[in-house]
Structure 1
Amino acid sequence: MNRHFFLLSTLLLALWALPAAASDWQDPDSIRDAAEGFVQAQMGDNGQVRARAGNVDQRLRLRRCEQGLETFLPSGRELGGSNTTVGVRCPGPVQWRLFVSVETEVLAPVVVANGVLQRGQVLGPEDISLQERNTGSLRREFFTSPDEVVGMRLRRNLSPGSVIQANHLDIQRLVERGQRVRLLARGESVEVSMAGEALQNGARGQRIRVRNLSSGKELEGVVSGEGTVKIRF
């Protein structure tokens, strides 16, 4: 009896000591895919999003998650910029979590200089064009339509391909704080005009806060002309 018990105990101990099969561990690539997918899903409406997760240490031995991986933003973190941190966790039965760094690119067409542009030059349609750029790396206000900058005067020299930003231009205010303005609310097939009040100064293409004088509701819109602000709905 004791001999049989000893042999059984030895066998169980040997089985327990055997290394787990590769299929018992969570594939690091699946963790990276989960982090990248989370960022792309959250930022999918901001142009063409590319997310690239950092390497997950191949030496990590995390038990395969039977209930499916969950992703989340760590407390105090926000999506945006060129780099973010995403949490990946397994809810059970074996629980674990780790954090993955994800580089992001939000690609969108922006206004750039076609050639060498000189300080004091008034921009014409032939001076600019739209090119795709990573907007997450642009720290200042940029423009997404040539109409927003045509007719404006440059404050500095620009080289070919430079992204034209608000601080490059001598921007003329078209709306003054407290001014009565025309609000244009445009949908897919309808446009509504209403009276409003500007709550901020604004130049063409700038986003400002306004108040609808009929409802008293505060809104955000883009200055499109002198005394005119476009609202999307």
Structure 2
Amino acid sequence: MLYTLLRPLCLLLLCGALSLTAQPASAHTALLESRIAKLLAAGHHGAEESAPRLRIRLLTPTTKLALLCEKPDLRLSGHPVRITGNRSVIARCGRKQHFIQINVSASGRYWIAARLLKPGQTISPGDIQPLSGELDKLPAGLLLDANQIVGRTPTRTLRPGQPLTENQLRQRWLVVANQEVEIVAPGDGFLIHAKGKALNNAARNERVRLQTRSGRVVAATAVAEGRVSIKMDN
């Protein structure tokens, strides 16, 4: 009879003990998820308001996570172009290295073509339209910041409603092959202007090979529409 009376009390104490031991593990997991989310957010290139809302789910069993030190050094493994999906995080505790498997899902604003966009045209703000929603099933390399789209040009025809990605766009050419360009050569207290012929296409700050009037081939940098800058030591 005494056993019958004490059994519920023992079970209650046992459950309480299990609950108390589970709390630190749960807090440790929550802290780990928060740190990984910040690590992923730091990789966002663009305006702060265009950053996606990330949700992190740890796939590594809690029994393995419990083996980590209190505050491991974390870094992402690899350089995937897709925001969402399964990823690996490297956790270093002293000389020991562990791999944490995670799943990332995200929602936020992305951009689609508002009308038919053709190769060679310069994209204006009126050519694109924002949408909001889940990003998990959208193409890799999705562009979330309008500043990364406007002023660029499509590499192929884009249909209305098509989500815009990095590999669909390029910077607009400032000089094109066989174009006569203005050469600017700044020096110490002077500036030389000349003419030459571009031998390849180049966007802003890209390298371009050009042929001078004398027939010499030199390297320069595209700086403006039809203008390149050349160092005097070339």
Please give the TM-score of this superposition, normalised by the length of structure 1.
0.46
